[in-house]
Amino acid sequence: MDFESIQRFADEFLGRLLERDRQMVHMSLLKIGRRCDFLSIIQDRYHEADARLRAALDGRGDRLISMISDERLKLIEEHEQLNVALHLEIESFYTFAKTVLDDAARLIELFFGRIPAKALSSHDDLTKRLHDYQQERTLELPAGFNDAVTELRREISDFRDHAVAHEQCPRTMYRTTWTNGEAAFLELSRIHPKASDRDQTSGDINELTHRLHDYLSMVLTLLANNFDRTALKFADA
């Protein structure tokens, strides 16, 4: 969701609302757009960090063999710092992508009103309550909206929750992996593994970014197609 799409929506629709309500919706949209800009910056830094680490690792084995102990340790430390910098960008992406999803859920609730005991405080809430919300507000959902909500919860919200924000296992180790020439993935596995342990791997950040923006476009379509069902006040009411 970029500034241009937000302004087009505001110009076409928001003038129909009372000033206070119009401003709240507009600010909510700008908040989402601001964090989408964060994600764009993170994505660029992620690719830069990926390229730096790849370049540093190219031919590392041969260089390590010829080095004395102190040189070897210094090189390994330099490479680990590059690795950490890459992991920072991956975890930052998931942190802000989850925040964007939560902001979008709260925007939907602001626009169409809260259903008692069924708050849309997060994207997880929206995933669990979308059917009820659609039925009670008689909403027309854009094609693919329900699938997008469910898939983004699994691929963004769940990874952020389990692998970033609430990862607490003392046996967790972090690795960088590459597949088929793609940009790097973050992989979490366990030392002293148990039968119940499951490795976790981040997704394709480029693809997830594309799908997140597609979903936010659907959110704007949802608001536009159901504008007359808003719980907010119209200027001519």
Q: If we measure between CA atoms, which residue out of 212, 83, 220, 213 comes closest to residue 160? A: 212
Q: What are the boundaries of each domain within the chain?
A: 3-159+205-229
CA separation for the pair 223, 207 (Å, rounded):
25
Segment 134-168, tens digit of pLDDT: 999 999 999 999 999 999 999 999 999 999 999 99
Segment 84-98, tens digit of pLDDT: 999 999 999 999 999
Give the pLDDT mean for 127-132: 94
Give the pLDDT mean for 211-220: 96
pLDDT of residue 73: 78
pLDDT of residue 67: 57
Q: If we measure between CA atoms, which residue out of 233, 235, 216, 220 comes closest to residue 8? A: 220
* CA end-to-end span of the chain: 30
Residues of the chain above pLDDT 90, percent: 78
Average pLDDT, the chain: 91
Range with the poorest average pLDDT among 53-67, 110-124, 152-166, 179-193 = 53-67
Q: What is the pTM of this model?
A: 0.92
CA separation for the pair 35, 136 (Å, rounded):
30
Give the pLDDT mean for 100-114: 96
